[in-house]
Amino acid sequence: MASPIHRPLQPMTDFAATKTLFHLPEGVIYLDGNSLGPLPLRTPDRVARMLKEEWGEMLIGGWNRAGWMAQPMGLGDRVGGLIGAEPGHVTLGDTLSIKVFQALAAALAKTDRKVILSDSGNFPSDLYIAEGLVGTLNQGHSLRVVDPEDVADAITGEVGVLLLTQVDYRTGRMHDMADLTAMAHAAGAICIWDLAHSAGAIPVDVAGCQADFAVGCTYKYLNGGPGAPAFIYVAPRHAPTARPALSGWLGHDAPFAFEPTYRPGEGIARMRVGTPPVLQMAALDASMDIWDTVDMEALRSASIRLTERFIEGIEASCADLTLASPREAARRGSQVSFRHPQGYAAMQACIAQGVVGDFRAPDIMRFGFTPLFIDENDVEAAIDVIARVMADRLWEDPQYQARGAVT
């Protein structure tokens, strides 16, 4: 059965202690938790228990006896605690692209306006979903994409929905959620925030910012594992009437009545679609046991210290690298990106030397900082390795030029 929420009176700020809760391979400095979080040590046992004691012994009875059917809402509330959501207004399941589709379709159904506004820093999948929905509706809708710095000026009376990723996946540039949401509302638009690079990275307050919808994934900073389920938030003012374009059977008001027509469930439950990914939820459950204890303000302070030192060290030792992230800490998330003409090969050389980051086209070397398992010693060691890779031009080795399917 899913673990209950145990929030301590004094949230954890000792990140030396949290580091011991993760499996970190020997000789590796892992600066890619913004792409896939490392394995919590308790996850294998939690998944094995689900396999043996729940699926193995309970069989189909696990849906009731082990609480599988209730997990999307229970885990949703736990994730909701990290993004400032009201209880009962987050659920999870499916993929992030599906949750973006749901939120965007529901938002468009609430306005007569036809323009979706986004920016070129948004994750491409979000833009693809918007393009596909515009084409499917075929009702005169359009997607308007502007530079990130121009979003505020582009919020006009034509805009029906503002669709933004809070933290740019390439550079870490961070939008001001409160200000842009207020501007959108003043112009009569509805806001959807993608929190893929925010949840577990920075303090978020969707309720306080009056966000209409929010979505995000749990395999990055939240350590739910590859394929972990995505989440969706619907504000209380919209939850009773939001139209679920993907009217799956578990979003029905009475799934096991097997009625021939769809009746949406109450509130956020209508945003459920298909069968919950029970194995993945078991892994996320173990990870959330850690996150339930974390002080997000303390984590943010630690992240800023680590990223500031990293920028300082890299700029002092690697003249060939150009900072792509905002220099001001308040304007970036928990990642730092540098540009290099041979960024892919340079990153592969760093990985071969034990510093794991990743590459994003066309020239971005991306490094994520998660204080739960990255400390000052890791940062200093990473600076030294990257400086050696660049000074010795290790990236020129042909073995680092061949690109894999995942960069």
Rounded Cα distance, 126 and 66, in Å: 34
378 and 274 assigned to the same domain: no
Q: What is the mean pLDDT of residues 154-163?
A: 98
142 and 271 assigned to the same domain: yes
Is 146 inside a domain boundary? yes
Q: Which amino acid is at 10?
A: Q
Give the strands of the sheet with 322-323, arranged side by side.
322-323, 335-339, 364-368, 358-360
CA dihedral 293, 306, 406, 216 (to 10 degrees): 40
164 and 266 assigned to the same domain: yes
Give the residue numbers annotated as catalytic, written as ranges. Answer: 123, 194, 219-220, 366
Is 75 inside a domain boundary? yes
Residue 236 DSSP SS3: coil
Q: Which amino acid is at 277?
A: P
**By residue range, what is the domain housing residue 382?**
296-400
Higher pLDDT among residues 107 and 244, named by residue:
107
Q: Residues 18, 289: contact at Cβ < 8 Å? A: no
Which CATH number covers residue 336?
Answer: 3.90.1150.10
Secondary structure element (H or E) that encloses residue 378, with its range: helix 376-391
Q: Residues 194, 216: contact at Cβ < 8 Å? A: yes
Q: Residues 102, 244: contact at Cβ < 8 Å? A: yes
Helices (H), 34-114: 43-49, 57-58, 62-65, 71-83, 96-108
Is 43 inside a domain boundary? no
Is 83 inside a domain boundary? yes
Chain centre distance of CA 278: 20
Rounded Cα distance, 253 and 266, in Å: 7
- Looking at 291, 321, 354, the residue that finishes a domain is 291
Q: Residues 357, 386: contact at Cβ < 8 Å? A: no
233 and 189 assigned to the same domain: yes
Q: What is the mean pLDDT of residues 198-215?
A: 98
Is 4 inside a domain boundary? no
DSSP per-residue letters across 13-64? --HHHHHTTEE--TT-EE--TTTSPPEETTHHHHHHHIIIIIIIHHGGGHHH
Residue 298 DSSP SS3: helix
Q: State the helix-helix crossing angle for 376-391 and 296-317, rounded to 10 degrees.
A: 30
88 and 197 assigned to the same domain: yes
Using the structure block, give the residue that is written with the tokens 């394995």.
39
Is 85 inside a domain boundary? yes
- Looking at 291, 308, 327, the residue that finishes a domain is 291
205 and 236 assigned to the same domain: yes
pLDDT score, position 10:
52
Structure tokens at 112: 């007569």
Contacts of 196 (CB under 8 A, 6+ apart): 96, 123, 165, 167, 169, 215, 216, 217, 220
321 and 251 assigned to the same domain: no
Q: How confident is the model at residue 11 (pLDDT cuts 50, 70, 90)?
A: low
Q: What is the mean pLDDT of residues 337-362?
A: 97
81 and 212 assigned to the same domain: yes
Q: How confident is the model at residue 4 (pLDDT cuts 50, 70, 90)?
A: very low
CA dihedral 399, 403, 405, 407 (to 10 degrees): 100
- Looking at 243, 268, 291, the residue that finishes a domain is 291
Is 271 inside a domain boundary? yes
Which CATH number covers residue 283?
Answer: 3.40.640.10
Q: Which amino acid is at 89?
A: H
Residue 165 forms beta bridges with which residues?
194
pLDDT score, position 18:
95
pLDDT tens per residue across span 72-125: 999 999 999 999 999 999 999 999 999 999 999 999 999 999 999 999 999 999
DSSP at 165: E
195 and 71 assigned to the same domain: yes
Rounded Cα distance, 138 and 151, in Å: 25
**C-alpha closest to that of 194 among 333, 299, 367, 33:** 333
pLDDT tens per residue across span 268-319: 999 999 999 999 999 999 999 999 999 999 999 999 999 999 999 999 999 9
Q: What is the mean pLDDT of residues 114-142?
A: 96
102 and 135 assigned to the same domain: yes
Q: How confident is the model at residue 7 (pLDDT cuts 50, 70, 90)?
A: very low
pLDDT score, position 387:
98
Compute the mean pLDDT over every residue in the chain, rounded to the nearest whole number.
95
Structure tokens at 99: 């949750």
Q: Residues 329, 310: contact at Cβ < 8 Å? A: no
287 and 312 assigned to the same domain: no
Rounded Cα distance, 32 and 157, in Å: 40
* pTM to 2 decimal places: 0.94
Is 331 inside a domain boundary? yes
192 and 331 assigned to the same domain: no
First to last CA, the chain: 37
Largest CA distance in the chain: 68
pLDDT score, position 406:
85
Q: How confident is the model at residue 2 (pLDDT cuts 50, 70, 90)?
A: very low
- How many folded domains does the chain comprise? 2
Residue 85 DSSP SS3: coil
Q: Which amino acid is at 36?
A: L
